[in-house]
Each structure stands twice: as structure tokens, then as C-alpha cells.
Amino acid sequence: MSIVYTHVASPVGPLLLAAEGERLLAIHFARHGQPASPDAGWREDRGRFDEVARQLELYFAGRLREFALELAPRGTPFQLEVWESLRRIPYGRTISYGELARRVGRPAASRAVGAANGRNPLPIVVPCHRVIGASGDLTGFGGGLEVKRALLELEGVLAPDARALPFQTA
């Protein structure tokens, strides 16, 4: 089966969505102000992503707390286990990397869990932004710390920060 993609506008910048069949494979953030580029061999198909775009729009409007999409992330068995655990972090809550490591049964592996978290191919939908440092600091995020802060503000975890970049208008 071939991989299809599209770009969708979002309040945190353009997102590249990729799918195989009906299953979402990846969400990529813009880099340096430029939309992410599809991999070679991917075919553009805007219509395939109507439901994903609808749910993302509802999420950004504060009207969706849990995504109901067919997902097909590609990773190692350990990464898949970490990503599945991320999906169980409730909207509006955060946990530390150490807590995530405990939840996957590897309490001494917070660095490995952090690395798996950083390779999450489905940010926002698989909420890796809800994992923070043990001290409460915002740490690494593929979309940038401004986007992580904006997502946590949207979910009510953080008070709005006038210094942070506000949501962009699509």
C-alpha cells in the first residue's frame, strides 16, 4: 500500500499528515517556518485526511480531549509500548519522564523512555507534549518548546505566557 500525505493549517503552524490506507502514520511540524516535506514516493491526497483534520480542528478549538483515529506508528516494540502509554495520559495532565518509565515497567530507563518519546511520529494525537521534566520544566519537543507550551496552555496545564508565541491564525 502506498503512503499518502497532505498539509493542513493549524494554530501551531502547518502540519504534514501521512497515512497508509485509513491509518495515520505521522504528523510533522514545520521547520524554520517552512512546511515539512513529504518523503520521496509519497503521493498527495487531500481527501484522505478529512477526519484527521476535523479532529485536529476540534482539539485546537478546545472541544476534543481524546482522538479517535486509526493509527499506525512505526517503531521498535519498546517505542510502541512507550507511545501507547502516552495515549493514556489524560487531557490537561502532565507526567515526568520518570513516571512514564515506571508506567512502562522500566523505572530505571527514563532516558530510553525520553528517547522513545522524542521519536513519537504522531505528536498531538499521541500526546508526548504532556511529558515534562521532573522539576516541572518543559523539555524537548519536536515542534519546539513554544508549541509544547501552547499545547499545554490550550489544555489548561499552564497559564498563558505573554512571552510565548501565541497560536498562529490559520
Q: Which residues are catalytic?
A: 128
CA atoms of 30 and 17, how far apart (whole Å): 11
Q: Which 3 state secondary structure label does DSSP give 58?
A: helix
Q: Which 3 state secondary structure label does DSSP give 16?
A: strand
CA neighbours within 13 Å on the CB side: how many for 30?
16
CA atoms of 159 and 12, how far apart (whole Å): 17
CA atoms of 120 and 117, how far apart (whole Å): 5
CA atoms of 74 and 25, how far apart (whole Å): 7
Q: Which residues contact 138 (CB under 8 A, 6 or more apart)?
A: 132, 145, 148, 149, 152
CA atoms of 100 and 110, how far apart (whole Å): 7
